[in-house]
Amino acid sequence: MFFVSVLRNALCILVPLSFLLSSYLYLYPAFHLCAFPAPEETPKSAFLNTLRQHTFSSHNASKIAPFRLLTLGDPQLEGESSIPDAEAATFPHFSKFWQDAFLLNGTKHNPLQRLRHSLHDLIDFYLDDIPKALEVYRKRLDHIGNDYYLGHIYRTLHWWTDPSHVTVLGDLVGSQWIDDAEFEQRGWRYWNRVFRGGVRVSEEVASQPAEDFQNAIILGDDVAMWKKRIINVAGNHDIGYAGDLSPERMARFTRVFGKANYELRFQLPLNSTAVANSSQEIAEGKSDSEEDVEVADGESEDIEYKPVPELRIIVLNDMNLDTPASSKELQDETYEFLNKVITTSHDVTRPAHFTLVLTHIPMYKQAGICVDGPFFDFFDGDFDNGVREQNHLSADASKGFLEGIYGMSGDAWQPGHGFGRHGLVLNGHDHEGCDVYHYINQSEPPERYWKAARWADAEAGGYDEEVGVVGLREVTVRSMMGDFGGNAGLLSLWFDEETWDWRFEFVNCKLGPQHIWWVVHILDLITVGVGIAYAGFLLAPKINGNPDSPGAGKKSLQRKKAKGTIHGESPSSIGSTVLNS
């Protein structure tokens, strides 16, 4: 049959095409050579080591960083409130037609008025309700597809790269102005579609800064649970800027996604006697500068002091760092938390310590360095004239980050010569992403101030190695939304025992726009549909005994022979009878 031939030829095209595109979609990290950076390894070697984890070849576990953070930015889940004319899906004009036609609403009209109103309602139903309803259902389908597109990024990278921890850097939902019911609905989609299997960081784990911090976690303990935990950061679309941030919005964010301000501390497993003894000294309250360590035989040796390697993660709500703020109470809470972070920090001269800040709004930088330049807008007459919108933190707030949390300074006479603590800042907000180096030159005149440069330029110019230049890297992770390419950041952090300090590398992994996800799955459905139709056409004749099926010709011949007999005798037998007579 012609139609069967068409289906067969279509399958010859669809099957290999679907296979190739589906292979890309579900193995895209492999196609893009995505892998967490590895200690002392090139990107190619790190990828091959990751590839070996998914094959029968053995991989080198020593070349895998102990802390691997999958960073995702700004998913911004949309919902019903983002759909214009959502009520059109209920066909209001069609409902009004029945009311006007049968006077169900109690209105009294003469027959001519009833006819006129009813016809008008039907015209509105066809020309207004139906087109708008189709658009509403299209948007709802788009939201469902977007959820699974974002979830595909998370699950595929989680499977391929095997992160030890995961964070989402704010703007988990698309608007702070939605009501509580829709916020809960978007929260349900967040946990059951996008990050299915993930859990928020519980209040028991999310600690507050303290002088005698007792909740340090050994890096590598409870591995399975940490892979499930999602470290959520509050963004402007979750709780609002300083002007519209309210206790009610903060409460619902905390209830659905977890705390907005807390810290986590991780310590590496101790591998040397010197480290173990130092750890014991710290527990006993001995001085950080003590270098003599007691050995087992009671004698004393001069051993280089090696403090315990420690990673401090600070999850910070920076939405209300700048003023004015409509809720002074919430702003005071943020300031109090930030002050505790500063006052409970280790001495800036302590080695083997790394401070990682996870927040949403990037630090201040001059226009032209990133896509988003400095910008502030304020409410006029509402919300105590608070901050309505901002692209960056103010210069003063950013200075507080660098000089407060990290203890850096433009003055060489400050503790640690002003070089501060080793660390990194990760944030979102600027959907295009950016990689920046903030620095200050101690050799400049007294009115020196903090500057910023793109990391590629700073690295090429040797800013980070220049004498007297103090600096910190800030990575703004490009959005995981389809319009920006479905990105994710891969941060590796490992400890260098030769320098007795932490080292890190950050790379980006990109899927592509959301249309890829749609095209592949629609093509797969078409392929399956054509395959089922083709199989049906092949099997139907055999099931129904169609004459075109195998053996049909033999049966037809038998029927013809049967028709050629007369009273059970064949024509030849009749002829022979006549001749004999």
- What is the per-residue pLDDT across 487-544, written as a single tens digit (0 to 9) for each? 999 999 999 999 999 999 999 999 999 999 999 999 999 999 999 999 988 887 777 7
The residue with greater pLDDT, 275 or 401, is 401
Quick check: 508 and 478 in contact, CB under 8 A?
Answer: yes
Q: Is the pLDDT of residue 193 over 60?
A: yes
With bands split at pLDDT 50, 70 and 90, how would you rate the model's confidence at 447? confident
pLDDT of residue 369: 96
Tell me the percentage of the chain whose pLDDT exceeds 90. Answer: 68
pLDDT of residue 129: 79
Q: Which tens digit of pLDDT belongs to each residue from 109-120? A: 667 766 776 787
With bands split at pLDDT 50, 70 and 90, how would you rate the model's confidence at 545? low
Burial class (CB in 10 A: 0-12, 13-18, 19+), 320: buried
Gyration radius (Cα) of the chain, Å: 35
Angle in degrees, CA 396, 455, 387, rounded to 5? 30
Query: Which has the closest alpha carbon to 238: 185, 284, 172, 190?
Result: 172
* Distance from C-alpha of 170 to C-alpha of 469, rounded to nearest angstrom: 31
Quick check: 261 and 318 in contact, CB under 8 A?
Answer: no
Mean pLDDT of all residues in 371-388: 93
* Distance from C-alpha of 473 to C-alpha of 452, rounded to nearest angstrom: 9
Q: Is the pLDDT of residue 308 over 60?
A: yes
Q: Is the pLDDT of residue 578 over 80?
A: no
CA atoms within 13 A on the CB side of 307: 21
* Distance from C-alpha of 369 to C-alpha of 434, rounded to nearest angstrom: 8
Q: Which tens digit of pLDDT belongs to each residue from 254-306? A: 999 999 999 999 999 866 444 544 444 444 444 444 433 333 344 445 556 68
pLDDT of residue 393: 97
Mean pLDDT of all residues in 61-87: 91
Tell me the percentage of the chain whose pLDDT exceeds 70. Answer: 84
Query: Which segment of 2-6, 506-510, 547-551 scores lowest on mean pLDDT?
Result: 547-551
- Tell me which DSSP letter residue 173 carries: B
Query: Which has the closest alpha carbon to 69: 501, 477, 484?
Result: 477
pLDDT of residue 304: 62
What residues have CB less than 8 Å from 179, skipping those under 6 apart? 81
The residue with greater pLDDT, 431 or 293, is 431
- Tell me which DSSP letter residue 486 carries: -
Strand extents, DSSP E, 90-207: 165-168, 199-200
- Domain ranges for the chain, please list them: 1-83+147-273+307-529
pLDDT of residue 345: 95
Query: Which has the closest alpha carbon to 24: 517, 551, 573?
Result: 517
Q: Is the pLDDT of residue 198 over 60?
A: yes
Distances (CA, A) of 46 to 29, 58, 61, 167, 330: 13, 14, 11, 22, 44
Q: Is the pLDDT of residue 194 over 50?
A: yes
| Cis preceding-peptide flag for 324 (omega within 30 of 0) | yes
Q: Which tens digit of pLDDT belongs to each residue from 470-485? A: 999 999 999 999 999 9
The token duo for 221 is: 């303990």
> What one-letter code names the amino acid at 204?
E
Distances (CA, A) of 173 to 72, 136, 203, 390, 440: 13, 19, 21, 18, 36
> What one-letter code names the amino acid at 54?
H
pLDDT of residue 285: 43
Helix (H, G, I), strand (E, B) or coil at 522: helix
pLDDT of residue 446: 80
The string of DSSP letters for 16-78 reads HHHHHHHHHHHTHHHHTT-----TT--HHHHHHHHHHHTSSS---GGGS-SEEEEEE----B-
What average pLDDT is seen over the chain? Answer: 86
With bands split at pLDDT 50, 70 and 90, how would you rate the model's confidence at 185? very high
Strand extents, DSSP E, 477-563: 487-496, 501-510
Quick check: 392 and 458 in contact, CB under 8 A?
Answer: no
